[in-house]
Structure formats: structure tokens, C-alpha cells
């Protein structure tokens, strides 16, 4: 007996809507297809009973396709309306980048549980059951199961050399949740472990000791989709008994189960460019096309044959031995789509004569440069207060999405003003995932070689190599201080080095938070709002890692103007230049802006 992943997974949206509006409904006895549509169509336009016999089956087959097509259209609109209702007007199509293809994309043409299981040996399936069948509320079981599934996806499902990661990353997770774990996909332990769905957190403020922090619209939108998909798979295990006959080859794939690394359930459509195409786009890497430089190499402006303007980031000092992991990483990164993340279009790896091995990524071109350019380049017009607010909130949303909207979460590691780019409408786009790494679920830190930018690196990461999502929160706090104060994160004056965070903490502790604000900011907001932004910045840049909020909490603070204490508790000045700068200035992977 096999359960059809594709045909029944169209239930996702209807099940999700019912979950929120009528949890007690008996989902087993209802069909999501609106048969009245077909009944009205046949009654008005044709009489199937009077048809020539060979055409009767044809019309029956076409009828189900009409119903499914109508269902796709209606469900997609219903899904969009539901998210607008639940998440304060957020449109999943324009804001999250979701498309109706979410309902029908597939992986490796897998359409049934049977064909899925046939890709693995019986011993592998038995081992999966022994590792993953117990409650995933247990952190050890969760970690062991997740590691096993991730490795199994890379090796057994896709093959070690496969680059088609984004379309299949979560099939094993969905299968394990539905068929392997004893407690099913809707168990709280399952949702917490595999899909990072947890209960809402509380964020203490000076006005409310237990003010509930709502997850940002983007993150909640993804979580709702995941929960709906999980519920659908769980209920379909029961329903599968009614569908013992295999579906014929004419069944069309409707839905993608890609709800793991890509929250939008969509393949990345990543293009592998040829070196000749890159050369033509950049005018043979002309120096006149250089729009950025760094320790990694140069960034070139390019124009594709269809006229699309792109940015080509050319890495230096690379070898072919790392191409497989590079291709895997860019495939995953390209599948992560959000309005506040720079879209990755493609990549190129090639060995070229005397130039050696080449590795290039191709991204959308941002026409308004970086936040760093606007803040610190001479002759630029000062950003207005509303634009600075827009940049702060958009950047926070992008980071919150990386930390909570994808699985496994992505830690950026190099959040800084020059990595926040601005499009034609000055919408911020977080860029440069070259230093991004993936953090396994339930890990409290990830010890690794320090990589980041002087002035933005969190103390625990600089001194001990301990990396977590809150390391990005620290860097965001520094960027927010730059936006507010118009001063660089790190400066040297007359041989003395200083950190922006030290200066900001000193002023806040003295009750002079507004002295941080840059002079003559156009359209500056009310003092209480501006001061609130300062407090958000310094609490994000708190020297103690656990004193920092999480990014979804920061989004809530910026969206709702919730209050934080004027001076966060237990402030310890451990980030002074004398203590931290020697660690930061170690040449191991740490660079200046």
C-alpha cells in the first residue's frame, strides 16, 4: 500500500484553514474538492449520460482535472487571505515570495510513499525507525534523528555528487514525521524538533512584565504552512487505507514537499553559468565593472543576455577540491527567499589556464549601494529617519527569517553595514552569505574559526569561538547604532582604537541616550521613539549573550514600539577596547570593512 504524496497533499491549505477555524471538524469525512462546480458545469453545457461511451471516461478524467485546477486557484487565494488575517495583512505572494507552485512541485518525480521507500534499503529504513521512532521532545533523540536524516538525504536520496538539494531536502523529514515516529507529525515534540515550531516567547519590558512577543509575519507565515503540511501528512496516513489502488501514470504532480531548507517550498532555479557567459556579462572582468572589493576578491557589475543587471562576486585563492560543498551551499542559500534577502541567481566554477580555478556567485544587482555607502561616503545625502527605520526593520526581518524561517537555521556571521544593500525603493536586502554556516537544531553554540568584521563581531565569538544566532543579534545591534549615530563600528584616531558599542553603552548608562543620535537627520521622529531605538540597539549589542533578545523579538519591538528598560539590567562593561580588541585584531579570518 502506498500513500500518494502529490494527489493528497493538496489538502494542505484546507486542512490548515480548518485547523485554525474549526479544530474539532472531522477531516476524514470531508473532501476538499467542490463537486458543485462540476455538477453545475455538466448540467448547463453537457449531459455525460448521453455521451458516446468512449468519451464518458474521458469526461470523467477531465472533470477531476477541472476540479483540481479550480481547487488550486481557490486554495491559493484562500491561503493568502488566511495569512493576511492571521499575520496582520502580510501577503505571502508579495512579501514572502511564495507562488501557487507551492502546491504541486515535486522531488525526483516521487509521487508515492512506495517509490520513496524503494530508494532505500530495508536496513536503512529499519535503522531510521530505531533512531527516530521515540519522542522527539527528547533533545538527544531529536539531535540524533536530525543528523541521521540530513546525512541520509545527502548520501542515499540524492547521491554524494548531486547538487539538487533544494527540491528534496525535507522529504525524509516529512516521511519520518508521518510514518516513523510513534507520535505523529502534529505532536509538540515533533513540531519543535523537526520544524522548529515552539510556543510564543515572552519579552519583558518596563511596562509589562509578561508581554507576549509575536513572531514576525514572515516567520509565522512559514510556520503556518509547515504546520498545515504536517497535519495533512498525519491525517493522510489514516486516509491512505481508503486508497489502496495505485494511481495511474496520468496523475499529475501537484505539490512540493520541500518544506525544509526552503520555507517557500520552491526549487531554487539556480543557474550554473559557464565561464564564457560570466566573461561576456562583465566585459571580461573589466576593472570599470568593479563595484566592490574585499578580502574574498572583487564584485563586478554584469548584464545578462536578457538585459538583467547582476552582481558577480569572484572569489580568490580557491581550489576545485571544495566545489562540491560550495555547490551544495549556494544551492541551499538560493532556495532561501525573502523580501529582505538578496536573491542568488546562480554560480560558476571553472579552471581557466593561468588564472587557475575560479568560483563565482551571481546575485541581483542592488542599484542604491549599501547602507555603509549612504552613512559614510562623502557627498551622500543623509538618510531620513523614516528610511533608517525601514532599513532597521527590514534587516531585522531578514535575519529573523534566516534564524527561524528555514531549517536548519542559518547564521550569517558577517552582518555589517556594507552587507546591507538597498534596492531602487531603499528596501534593505541582507547580502553576503559567503560566511554563513548551518547550525544544528538544539545546539547552544557552534565552536568554529572566527570569521567576521572588526567592530561587528560578538565578544563570545571573538574570544571563545562560540557562535549562535545571538552572535548575529549583536552585529545587528552594532549596525543599528551606526544607523542612529552615523559613526563607524570601529575607528582608529591618533593611534587609539575604539568601538562604537563602548561609546554607546557609556552614554546610555549616563542617561544620555539621545546624544548618540546623529545631528541633522531629516524628518527625525519623536524623542521617545528615537530613544527607544537606542535602547533596542544597546540591548542587542549587550556583552552577555543571553541578555540579548532573539531576532523575532527585535522585529516585534520595532513593529510595535514596545518599550525596553532605559538601561538593561546587569550591564557589565566587558566589551571595552582594551579587553576585546586584542582578540578581534588577531589576523585569523577577521577583516576590516
Exactly one of 105, 187, 258, 414 is catalytic; name it. Answer: 414
d(CA 266, CA 258) in angstroms, rounded, equals 7
Backbone angle region of 267, left / alpha / beta, with phi > 0 → left and psi within -120 to 50 → alpha = beta
Helices (H), 377-490: 385-404, 459-464, 469-485
From 231, 227, 220, 186, select the one nearest 83 (Cα to Cα). 220
List of E strands, 332-419: 344-352, 356-364, 410-411
From 258, 194, 187, select the one nearest 12 (Cα to Cα). 258
Residues 6+ apart with CB under 8 A from 42: 48, 63
Q: For cell 513540531, what's the residue?
A: 191
User: 270-289 burial, b if ≥16 CB within 10 A, otherwise e?
Assistant: beebeeebbbebbeebeeeb
Per-residue three-class SS string for 74-122? HHHHHHHHHHHHHCCCCCCCCCCCCCHHHHCCCCCCCCEHHHHHCCCCH
DSSP at 240: G
From 485, 582, 584, select the one nearest 538 (Cα to Cα). 485
List of E strands, 249-289: 271-272
Environment class of 75 (CB within 10 Å of its CB; exposed 0-12, middle 13-18, buried 19+) = buried
Q: What is the radius of gyration, based on Cα positions, of the chain?
A: 26
d(CA 50, CA 18) in angstroms, rounded, equals 39
From 259, 267, 193, 198, select the one nearest 229 (Cα to Cα). 259
The response to whether 487 counts as a known ligand-binding position is no
d(CA 193, CA 138) in angstroms, rounded, equals 9
Residues 6+ apart with CB under 8 A from 499: 455, 489, 490, 575, 576, 577, 580, 581
From 94, 89, 340, 103, select the one nearest 225 (Cα to Cα). 103
C-alpha cell at position 394:
527590514
Rounded to 10°, the helix 500-509/527-540 angle is 120
DSSP at 4: B
Decide if 306 is catalytic.
Answer: no
Grouping H, G, I as helix, E, B as strand and the rest as coil, residue 268 is coil
Active site residues: 414
The annotation places the binding site for ATP at 313
The annotation places the binding site at 313
Amino acid at each position: 500500500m502506498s500513500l500518494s504524496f502529490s494527489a493528497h497533499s493538496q489538502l494542505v491549505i484546507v486542512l490548515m484553514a480548518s485547523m485554525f477555524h474549526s479544530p474539532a471538524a472531522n477531516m476524514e469525512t470531508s473532501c476538499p474538492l467542490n463537486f458543485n462546480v462540476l455538477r453545475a458545469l455538466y448540467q448547463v453545457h453537457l449531459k455525460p449520460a448521453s455521451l458516446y461511451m468512449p468519451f464518458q471516461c474521458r469526461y470523467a478524467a477531465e472533470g477531476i482535472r477541472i476540479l483540481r485546477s479550480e481547487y488550486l486557484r481557490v486554495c491559493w487565494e484562500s491561503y493568502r487571505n488566511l495569512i493576511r488575517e492571521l499575520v496582520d495583512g502580510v501577503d505571502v505572494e508579495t512579501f514572502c515570495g511564495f507562488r501557487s507552485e507551492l502546491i504541486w512541485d515535486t522531488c525526483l518525480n516521487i509521487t508515492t510513499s512506495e517509490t520513496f521507500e524503494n530508494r532505500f534499503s530495508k536496513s536503512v529504513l529499519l535503522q531510521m525507525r530505531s533512531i527516530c521512532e521515540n519522542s522527539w521532545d527528547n533533545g538527544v533523540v531529536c539531535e540524533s534523528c536530525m543528523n541521521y536524516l540530513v546525512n541520509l538525504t545527502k548520501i542515499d536520496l540524492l547521491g554524494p555528487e548531486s547538487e539538487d538539494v533544494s527540491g528534496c531536502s525535507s522529504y525524509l523529514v516529512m516521511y519520518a514525521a508521518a510514518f516513523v515516529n510513534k507520535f505523529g507529525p502534529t505532536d509538540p515534540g515533533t513540531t519543535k524538533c523537526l520544524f522548529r515550531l515552539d510556543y510564543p516567547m515572552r519579552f519583558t519590558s518596563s511596562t509589562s512584565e509578561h508581554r507576549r512577543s509575536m513572531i514576525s509575519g514572515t516567520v509565522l507565515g512559514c510556520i503556518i504552512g509547515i504546520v498545515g503540511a504536517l497535519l495533512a501528512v498525519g491525517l493522510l496516513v489514516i486516509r491512505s487505507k481508503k486508497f489502496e489502488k495505485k494511481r495511474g501514470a496520468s496523475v499529475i504532480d501537484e505539490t512540493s514537499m520541500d518544506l525544509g531548507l526552503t520555507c517557500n517550498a520552491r526549487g531554487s532555479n539556480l543557474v550554473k553559468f559557464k565561464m564564457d557567459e560570466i566573461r561576456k556579462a562583465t566585459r571580461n572582468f573589466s576593472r570599470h565593472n568593479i563595484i566592490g572589493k574585499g578580502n574574498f576578491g572583487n564584485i563586478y557589475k554584469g548584464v545578462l543576455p536578457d538585459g538583467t543587471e547582476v552582481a558577480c562576486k569572484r572569489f580568490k585563492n580557491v581550489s576545485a577540491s571544495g566545489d562540491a560543498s560550495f555547490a551544495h551551499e549556494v544551492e541551499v542559500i538560493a532556495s532561501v527567499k525573502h523580501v529582505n534577502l538578496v536573491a542568488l541567481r546562480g554560480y560558476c566554477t571553472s579552471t581557466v589556464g593561468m588564472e587557475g580555478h575560479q568560483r563565482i556567485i551571481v546575485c541581483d544587482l542592488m542599484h542604491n549601494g549599501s547602507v555603509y555607502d549612504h552613512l559614510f561616503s562623502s557627498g551622500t545625502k543623509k538618510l531620513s529617519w523614516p528610511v533608517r527605520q525601514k532599513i532597521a526593520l527590514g534587516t531585522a526581518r531578514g535575519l529573523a527569517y534566516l534564524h527561524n524561517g528555514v531549517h536548519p537555521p542559518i547564521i550569517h556571521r558577517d552582518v555589517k553595514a556594507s552587507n546591507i544593500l538597498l534596492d531602487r525603493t531603499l528596501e534593505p536586502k541582507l547580502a553576503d552569505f559567503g560566511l554563513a554556516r548551518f547550525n544544528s537544531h538544539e545546539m547552544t553554540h557552534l565552536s568554529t574559526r572566527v570569521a567576521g568584521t572588526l567592530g561587528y563581531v560578538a565578544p563570545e565569538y571573538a574570544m571563545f569561538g562560540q557562535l549562535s544566532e545571538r552572535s548575529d543579534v549583536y552585529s545587528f545591534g552594532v549596525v543599528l547604532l551606526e544607523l542612529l549615530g552615523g559613526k563607524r563600528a570601529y575607528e582608529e584616531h591618533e593611534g587609539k582604537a575604539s568601538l562604537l558599542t563602548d561609546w554607546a553603552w557609556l552614554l546610555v548608562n549616563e542617561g544620555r541616550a539621545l546624544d548618540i543620535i546623529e545631528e541633522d537627520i531629516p524628518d527625525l521622529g519623536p524623542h521617545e521613539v528615537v530613544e527607544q531605538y537606542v535602547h533596542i540597539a544597546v540591548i542587542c549589542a549587550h556583552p552577555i549573550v543571553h541578555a540579548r533578545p532573539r531576532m523575532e523579538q527585535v522585529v516585534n519591538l520595532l513593529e510595535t514600539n514596545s518599550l525596553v528598560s532605559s538601561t538593561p539590567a546587569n550591564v557589565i562593561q566587558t566589551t571595552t577596547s582594551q579587553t576585546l580588541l586584542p582578540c578581534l585584531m588577531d589576523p585569523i579570518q577577521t577583516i576590516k570593512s
